[in-house]
Structure 1
Amino acid sequence: MTTFALSLPRAVPRRTLVGVAALTAVVMLWSSFALSTRALEGAGLTMADAAIVRFAVPAVVLSPWIPRTLRTLRTERPTVLALVLLAGLPHFLLFAWGAHLTSAALTGLLVPGTVPVFVTLLLFLCVRRTVSRRRVLALAAVVAGVAASALFTGGPTGPGGIAVLLAAGLVWAAYTLGVARTRLDPVGVIVIVSITSVASALLLAVTEVLPSALLAGTADLSTVGSYALVQGVGTGLLSTACYVVAVKNLGSSLPAAAGALSPVLTAVVAVPLLGESLGLGLGVALALIVTGVAVFALSPATPSGQSTPR
Structure 2
Amino acid sequence: MTTFALARRPSLSPRLFVGGAALAAVVTLWAAFALSTRALETAGLTTVDAALARFAVPALLLSPFLPRTVRALRTERPLVIALVLLAGLPHFLLFAEGAHLTSAALTGLLVPGTVPLFVAILLFLREGTVIRGRRLLALLAVVAGVAASALLTGGTADIGGICVLVTAGLVWALYTLGLARTRLDPIGVILIVSVTSTIAALALATTGFLPSRILAGTADLSGFGWYALVQGVGTGLLSTACYVIAVKNLGSSITATAGALSPVLTAAVAVPLLHEPLTSGLAIAMALIAAGVAVFTLSPATASDRPAAPKRE
TM-score calculated relative to the size of structure 1: 0.93
Does the aligned pair in 2 maintain the 1:132–1:300 contact within 8 Å?
no
Shift of 1:283: 1.5
Structure 2 residue aligned with 1:250 = 250
Structure 2 residue aligned with 1:76 = 76
Structure 2 residue aligned with 1:149 = 149
Structure 2 unaligned runs (5+)? Answer: 1-10
CA deviation map 1:152-177 (0-9, x unaligned):
24356422111111111111111011
Structure 1 residue aligned with 2:42 = 42
Measure the CA separation in 2 of the matches of 1:282 and 1:76: 42
Count of residue pairs the alignment pairs up: 299
CA deviation map 1:2-32 (0-9, x unaligned):
xxxxxxxxx9531221111111111111110
Measure the CA separation in 2 of the matches of 1:37 and 1:267: 14
Structure 1 residue aligned with 2:229 = 229
Aligned CA-pair RMSD: 1.5
Measure the CA separation in 1 of the matches of 2:304 and 2:140: 23
Structure 2 residue aligned with 1:111 = 111
CA deviation map 1:83-103 (0-9, x unaligned):
000000001011111111111
Moved over 4 A (4+): none
Q: Is residue 171 from structure 1 mapped to residue 166 from structure 2 by the alignment?
A: no
Code of the aligned partner of 2:259: G
Does the aligned pair in 2 maintain the 1:84–1:179 contact within 8 Å?
yes
Structure 2 residue aligned with 1:130 = 130
Code of the aligned partner of 2:258: A
Does the aligned pair in 1 maintain the 2:114–2:169 contact within 8 Å?
yes
Code of the aligned partner of 2:161: G
Does the aligned pair in 2 maintain the 1:113–1:293 contact within 8 Å?
no
Structure 2 residue aligned with 1:4 = none
Structure 1 unaligned runs (5+)? Answer: 1-10
Question: 5 Å matches for 1:1-310?
Answer: 12-154=12-154, 157-302=157-302, 304=303, 307-309=306-308
Structure 2 residue aligned with 1:7 = none
Structure 1 residue aligned with 2:6 = none
Shift of 1:208: 1.1
Structure 2 residue aligned with 1:5 = none
Measure the CA separation in 1 of the matches of 2:43 and 2:218: 12
Structure 1 or 2, whichever has the larger Rg, is 1
Code of the aligned partner of 2:227: Y
Change (3 A) 1:301 1:120: farther
Shift of 1:299: 2.1
Does the aligned pair in 1 maintain the 2:110–2:169 contact within 8 Å?
yes
Change (3 A) 1:41 1:72: same
Measure the CA separation in 1 of the matches of 2:259 and 2:162: 18
